[in-house]
Amino acid sequence: MNKIKQELVRRFNERTATIGIVGLGYVGLPLVLRFCEVGYKVIGFDIDRSKIDLLEQGKSYIDHIKSASVAQAREAGFEPTTDFSRASEPDALILCVPTPLSRHREPDLSFVLDTVASLLPNLREGQVMSLESTTYPGTTDEELLPRIEKSGFKVGENYFLVYSPEREDPGNEHFTTRTIPKVCGGYSADCLEVGLALYGQVIDKVVPVSSTRAAELTKLLENIQRSVNIGLVNEMKMIADKMDIDIFEVIDAAKTKPFGFTAYYPGPGIGGHCIPIDPFYLTWKAREYGLNTHFIELAGEVNRDMPKWVVEKIANALNDRQKALKGSRILALGIAYKRDVDDMRESPAVEVMEVLRDKGVAIEYSDPNVPVFPKMREHNFNLKSVELTPETVASYDCVVLLTDHSKFDYEMIRQNAKLVIDTRGKFRESFDTLVKA
């Protein structure tokens, strides 16, 4: 009988445990708030001093998370810190750090491995480490496990290791951290029992799977399914466009079928921290087994080509009006990766803006959720959001709707724009200055 495991499970079940959340972004911060909400002591770790400063003041830096919620967590004892030497204090260390792709579209685990390296000197017996970052099957066992055991622990006996993929949907008011079922896989049966106890007090439904690898592949399947279906509907959009058929009308008709059809909608590409990236984690790992993921990669190619297709539609529409693309003034409407959030990660709008800029366009943007274009690893625009008024809209040669935020005044845009390029199907009825893309 494992007394260390039993004591850890007891502390989670009685909510006397201390929780450490490592990485306080779109995944980590909602977890902080949820654990605080039910009475756990929470320590939040991040290397970004500016984030910690704001959290210490009870302020949020994420648009859909209210500062009042952060302030309430602070009052409940939440401690944000950059001091990783405090990693010995929590009973659980939950890793919520990025897993991007390298320039060669291969998995970049540097954030995960650097984080683990920062924690290792301060690990102690009787903790559980949970990785939530999306990654390829085998990461937890092949990368985290040997590093922990090299530090002198025996995983499954005096230290515990699980993988439980995040399932956040920023800006979705219908699903919260508490209500979204959570998959959890452990390195061993005892590890899984600890993981289920860790999440069982804060998540309505925890779904156990047989291994960390099964949990890792579950997350990839969820996002690859979306990538493939979005790639399909984006290709269908291009076909429908050539046939002069409104793809949104077709989707609306098809979804009346009560079985066997799920509606997916086209756009200028795909964005966010998951769908553009996660499929390539699996394609990379599959090569180790001599497998080629043709279907997955083809969907990725279709989705990556969409920004260029949008630019071609803009160029043709301007040309039809005796206006060259080069030298045009164009306003991008919405640059976050999806409606009503401030999340810019992998936003296809940025790709469209870059292609237009490279072709000599004077590009600006308006986004109520992104007042200043943020610093990004691969993209650089020194721009601020333009206030939308009838005069400003009318001053551009073209406005292109890339993210359909609910705060936009679409009727005002319709009445004043010289040319509207709609990539989201927001304008369902045609008008003289509308081009659907």
Catalytically active residues are: 274
Q: How many residues does the chain have?
A: 437
Range list of H helices, 201-242: 212-242
Residues 34, 44: Cα–Cα separation, whole Å: 13
Q: Which H/E stretch holds residue 131? A: strand 128-131
DSSP E strand stretches across 242-376: 329-333, 362-366
Residues 253, 266: Cα–Cα separation, whole Å: 15
Phi, psi of 249 (to 5 degrees): -65, -40
In the DSSP assignment, the letter for residue 372 is B
Residues 258, 137: Cα–Cα separation, whole Å: 35
Partners of 92 in the beta sheet? Answer: 19, 128
Residues 145, 160: Cα–Cα separation, whole Å: 9
Secondary structure (DSSP) of 12-70:
HHTT-SEEEEE--STTHHHHHHHHHHTT-EEEEE-S-HHHHHHHHTT---STTS-HHHH
Residues 338, 232: Cα–Cα separation, whole Å: 19
Residues 98, 77: Cα–Cα separation, whole Å: 26
Amino acid at 49: R
Phi, psi of 318 (to 5 degrees): -65, -40
Secondary structure (DSSP) of 56-108:
HTT---STTS-HHHHHHHHHTT-EEES-GGGGGS-SEEEE-----B-TTS-B-
In the DSSP assignment, the letter for residue 375 is P
Partners of 400 in the beta sheet? Answer: 332, 421
Is 216:130 a contact under the CB 8 Å cutoff? no
Closest CA to 134 of 202, 221, 200: 221
